Amino acid sequence: MAYVPLSGLHILRGAEHLKLYQFNSGVAKHYFCSNCGIYTHHQTRSNPNVYGFNVGCLEGVNPFDLDDLPVSDGINHESDR
């Protein structure tokens, strides 16, 4: 997962397939593909001024080729620490 300011993430195609899920406080906005279910990006709860995005969803980018890429398990969030 990587982070960018809200203005730094642009969906180029497929936005019509994204589904929004909000939990608990509704601050965080989690987006998933309605076709395959993959998590694409989210507006974070701990810092709602940024998007966290799934590097594996970037066209032409192989996340396994990136050094020291942190992995999020989807359960343990920054604000839980």
Per-residue pLDDT of the chain (81 residues; tens, 9 = 90+): 788 999 998 898 899 999 999 988 888 899 999 999 989 999 988 888 999 998 888 888 887 788 776 655 566 666 655
0.95 exceeded by pTM: no
pLDDT for res 77:
64
pLDDT for res 41:
94
Domain 2-58 grouped into CATH 3.30.230.70 = no
The domain spans of the chain are 2-58
> What is the DSSP track for 8-76?
G----S-GGGEEEE--TTS-SEEEEETTT--EEEEE-SS-TTEEEE-GGGSTT--GGGSTT-----SS-
